Structure formats: structure tokens, C-alpha cells
Structure 1
Amino acid sequence: MNFKHTRSVVAMAVLAAMTATSAHAGGLERGGYNIDLLFDPSAYALEATTTYVNPQRDLKNGRDTNPANGLGADGRGGGSTSTRDTESYWVPRVGIKAALGDSGIDCMADYSQPFGAYTNPGRNWIGANDNTKTKIETDNYAVTCSYKWAMGPGKIRVIGGGFYQEVNGFKERLVAPNFYGTGNGIGRLDLEANGWGGRVGLAYEIPEYAFLTSLVYNSEVKFDDIEGTIDLSEVRVPGPLGPTRPIQFGKYDISGEASVPQSLEYKIQSGIAPDWLAFGSIKWTDWSVLQSVAFCPATASPLTPCTSLDLLYRDGLTVTAGVGHKFNDQWSGAVSLTWDRGTSTVINAQSDTWTLGTGVAYKPVENVEFRLAGAVGILTSGSSRSTTINGVPFGSNVSYDYGNDVVTAVSTSLKVRF
């Protein structure tokens, strides 16, 4: 039984469903890396995708657990004990693929934003001493190629490539309550960095059975020279003459180092009946490489202190399974279920996620495809508490709980073959 045409039509809906479900995962992941365009059977293809994600994580039962820097949002125990922690975001991706004649070599170039974070509990959150707003964004520019040759009933591919990645972000929190002068007490960390990474992989495909399996490793990206600033110009503390002459901190340069983790992903899809395709994937991501990331000036002092981003992540694991169906030569659909293991351990609110995704693909003419997908997921419940590791306290500013919350996503894409 020949499933070749089934793959070419249904695979588009499969990709749509998986794009929507992968846009909110553990750690800092926003879909991660994607090289599916490399396997497009056409000689040339251009693809553009955008995904809107709305995670609705709510924190509750908040309690300021560190009176040393003032209690609550005002230093006196005030502030809300519950808040919406997350903000919605967009995830774009653009790629182009080309086959180099009959050489068996295919190459693709793409731009994406694979990682990021956006939390905004606000300045009235009782845990303002821990976080009022944090935003991290990445830009990734990649080139990936493969060489394929006949082996058995199908073809085997060797895959290799590299990518350049930029990261920037900031974090704001209440450093000291607004008791003195006009300062609002908010300190801000800004940072930026860039680095290089690479990928290798192996794939095997049998078009007759719509069969494709791949194993791809993406390397760690080391940011050995993160640069940025700490701005404490809005922070006032008592001076030697008391509150009438407060000490005003300033703005100073800092540096640090961190890594975006390595990952290993296995994917498989196959025709299982006329016009039906089954698919699945499993991905491991080394998020435990991100524990506590320190940022310090050249010389630390009471007026120019260090700071850190405390994550204490564990490794991530993402498993997806689903089916796709071709309704006719123009329309196809797919449905998938994804489980993502939460990367938070004792602190923070990244718990396990279950996501149901659906996607449809429409092919009005031979060389043009439109895809639309949606996803709805459950962010499971948990809590964040202080802990001590090797004598160092973490999460000591605030404790809180979170229930079973909802995440939704909508994705659209356009592919043109020529």
C-alpha cells in the first residue's frame, strides 16, 4: 500500500498541531529548534510561522518570608497575596529550504526565537522583593544541511548545521521599600550576550509508507561573556544622618556567564491506514545546566553588590503522540497530546504541562499551503518554597502556591513551494 501522497498532505497538519503544542514548554523553551522544513520533498520551499501563546499562571497564598529587606510591596507587609504571574507572547519563525540539484544535498536557513520568558507579577505583589517583572528573549539564526542516499527501501540522511544566538533581557524587583526620598525602591538588571552552537543528526525515510524517523542533537550555547548593568538609582536606604540624608545607589556594569542547554530529540511518523498517519516524538533538554546564574561588577562592594538569577532547574522531558488524516487532496487535519515535565524543583512555578493540540492544513493549489492550529493545556499545581543548597539559601524572599491553570495557543503558517 502506497502512503506517499498521504504524507505530503497530512504532514502539514501534523506540523501545525505540533507547533502549537510546543510553544510553551519547560525551562525557557518557546518551541526550541525546528528543522522539519529540511525534509520537504520539493526542490525549494519558503515557510513563515507565527504562534500566539497565552499562559495563565496565577500565584496565590503569597507570603513574604524575608523581613530583612522589608515586608511585602510597601515594606510594611502590604501587597496582594495573589497575582497573575505570566504574560502572553508571540513566537515567530521563518525558513527557506533548497535542494542542491541532484547531489542529494538539501540545505535550509531559518530565523526563530527558541527560548524566552515573560513574568509580570507586578509591584503590588507581596513577593515584590523577589520579582516584579522579568523578560528574556532570544534570536536564533541557523543553517542546516543534509546529505541523503539510497539504503534499503528508503533513504538515509546525515544532518549537520550551526547557529548563532543572541539573548537579551531584564529583571526588576523591589530592593528596598520606598521609605526615603523619591526613589521607588526598584532595582533593575539588564543583560545581553551572544554565542554559537551546532547540531548533528540522522534520519531515515521511506516515502512509499509515509515513514520518517529522525534523531537530532543540538549543542549547548555558551554565553561566556554576558554583559549588562544593575540600576539601583531608585533605591534609597538610611544614611549616616538618618532618613533625611539617605544613601542613593547608582548604576554600574556587571558580567556573568551561562548556557542555553543541549537537547536530543527523536521523531517518528508513519502511514497506518489509507489517508491516516501516526506520529510521535520525545525530547530531552539539559535544563539542569541552569541553577543560579551570578552577575557581578569587577569589584563588588556594599554600594555595588552582585545579584543572581536563581532557577534551580531540572532536566526537561517532552513527549508527544498524535494522528493525522487526509480528508481530500486539499484538506487534512491532525490532533496531538503532549506531556512536558516541569523543570522547577523547589522554587518557581514551571510544573508539568499537558497540552491538546489540533491543526488543519489547506492546499488551494499545488505549491501553496496554509496551516492553522490551536492548543489548550493544563499547567499543573504546585508550590514554591525556600531551600538551602550547600549552605546557600534560595527562594528565601517569598513562598506561594499555584493551582491547575490554563495555557492556550494559536498558530498560523504559510508555505510556498517552487
Structure 2
Amino acid sequence: MTSIIPFRPAARVADLGVSEILKISAQAAAMQRAGGDVIILGAGEPDFDTPDHIKEAAARAMRDGATKYTALDGTAELKAAIADKFRADNGLHFDPTQITVGAGAKQILFNAMMATLDQGDEVIIPTPFWTSYADIVRIAGGCPVLVPCADTAGFRLTADQLDRAITPRTRWVMLNSPSNPTGAGYSAQDYAPLLGVLARHRRVWLMVDDIYEKIVYDGFTFATPAQIAPELRDRILTVNGVSKAYAMTGWRIGYGAGPVDLIRAMAVVQSQSTSCPSSVSQAAALAALRGPQDAVEVMRQSFQARRDMVVSGLNAIAGIRCPTPDGAFYTFANCEGVLGRQTPDGTVIGTDSDFCAWLLRDHGVAVVPGSAFGLSPYFRISYATGAADLAEALARIARAVVSLRPAALAV
């Protein structure tokens, strides 16, 4: 009898897995389908619907027959709108040849890494970080260099940390502001010392993920490195998209702007993977960038109110400490104060992963442990969901923590 040869994955993905965020969300969704009362605060997705004028632009494009292939990395009209956005919002001037459009900001990051990394090249990533960053680097053959950033420093990378992390193999530094998972933002003053370090290391490039640019609070002034240090523009890739600001996650449109040679190399990668982004989604993104911006501000204000509710609610729970985010729609709370304690059924909460698993299993609240983002003991809440669900989730977390008891007192 012929034996079955087991499947062997490629070495570049053998040690990788599906995002912890997706795993937790899938588990919570399965519990819901089985009749469980579960509040899911894991996914980074606005709960708002895409604004009507954007949906209508997509419908009009379909009616007009715009359902064919487009230019490889974006229509001329969308690239022009992106160039206008950079000029109006950031004071940056890009030619269409310096702009690329892909199937989401994640594809832009992936294309850049695939186009530039050789085996063993290093990419510096401050932690906590969005879970995909490191795995994209690994798939592309690179080596992620994770630099822990404490909440005492606002979860921001310092110039000294950056300088120490750079080696002869460093190819990129990745920065995200406002950040997923912490909501921490880099102001122009925060960026300046980091850009000073990069000015001395002329072979190191900078990739900035600005996807949460429009979602900032308390007068935080968004800045992006290419506008702060124009002398470094020839080695900066600025990444953005329409997913978060316009509630368009499923439309899958992201974009990037940078040096022509890099954009061309990224186009080569895209040409052999997805080819052009969806023609209909590009028409929708064009309407998002060109059309009224009122909905963006309405959503931002709602997110800020929810942020205030969640931060206040978490900080009222003994054993939980939650910094106030500058932007995005996440809190990243410290749960060290509950570790080592025991649940009513006798389980000891040893890690942030234990805490989050217990919250989901016994209290129906799905949140993501800080370990998934490279820093423990924390947990991330996405407050991109309704206020009623957030209030109930906070009440459940509070009741859960109150039920814990010191392990030493267990009978």
C-alpha cells in the first residue's frame, strides 16, 4: 500500500501562524453561534457603515462598466486624489510615479518588504506592534528586531534605543502612529530625535504606517516623518489607506508614497501576486478622498467618547492600569495587578494570555493579550464597537476581577 507523504510547508511559513487576533475573534464568534452571550472587542474594525456617497460611487462605477482591470498599482484618478491628500493634509508633494495603490495597507507593507529584503536583513520594530509586521518581515526573508517600549515612555521608541538596535544588517525601521495596539502617537517633537539618528545611518530606510492618521484626540497634532525631515524623503515609505478613517475595511484599498525606484520594485511584486486592486474599490476610495469629510469627524468624535469611557472604566478596576491613547481605537491596559491571583474555580492567572482566555471562557468578553503584540502583561480592547456593548464588557471585566482571590488564600 502506498503511504501518504505528509504535507511540508515552506520553511518561510513553517513557524508562522494565523494572527492571534483572528484566532480569538474566530473562537468568540463560534461561541456566539453556539448561543453564547459574547462581546467581541478584538477586531480593529470600525462598527460604522461606509458612508453612503462612497457606496454610491462604487455602484455608479459598476453601472458604468468600470469592472475591468485597471493600471497595475492604481488608476490615474485615484493616484491624483492621493497626491492631493498628501499635499493638503501633510504638505507633501508626490508625483504619481511615487505613489502605489494595493489591496489594503497590509499589501503595501508586504510589497515593500518583498521588494527590498534579502535573507537575514534586519527590520527594527518597536514593541508592542501590530501582529502582522514581524511575520511579513519573516516571510520576506528578513529578521525582525523587536525593541520593547515601556508604557512609562508612552510606548514610544527612543533615539538611544534606535541607535543601539541598528546594525550593519539593518534595512528598515517600522513606525506606526497612532499605534495599533496602544493608540500612542508620535508628535513632530517625538519623531525629531529618531530622524536625527536615521540621518546618521544613511543606509537605513524608514517605513511609517499612518493608517490611523484621522483618528486622533485631545488636540494631538498628527505628523509624518517625510514632512518633518524632507532631507530623508529619498528613503521613507509613507503608508496609509481608507480602511479606518472611512470605515472601509472590506473594500481593501491602501496606498503608499516614496522614492520612484522603490515604488517600481513594489509594482513588480504586485504584478506577480494580486495585480491591480479592485476597480470598484478604487472608485469608492476616490469618492472617499474627494468627497465630503463630515463622516470622518463624526466617527472620530464617537471614538473619542468611547475611549474616555473605556479608559475611565478600566482604571476604576483594582489591578488594572490603562494609559490614555492619543489616537486609533484601542486601549492597551496593564493587567499585572491581577496576575498570580486565583479564579473561583481554582485556576491561577499566571499571564495576560491566561487572563484574556478566562475573560472569554467564563465572562463572555473577547480581548487580545499583550503577548500577541510582543509586550506583556497587557491586554488590548478595540473600542470600535457600540457604547452599550462597551459598558457591558467593562462591567463584566470588573465583576471578573472582583471575583479573583489571592492564590495563597485558596482552600
Higher RCO structure, 1 or 2 (CA under 8 Å, sep 6+): 2
Larger radius of gyration: 1
Q: TM-score range by the shorter chain?
A: under 0.3
Q: Relative to total residues, which structure has the larger strand share, 1 or 2?
A: 1
Please give the TM-score of this superposition, normalised by the length of structure 2. 0.26
Please give the TM-score of this superposition, normalised by the length of structure 1. 0.26
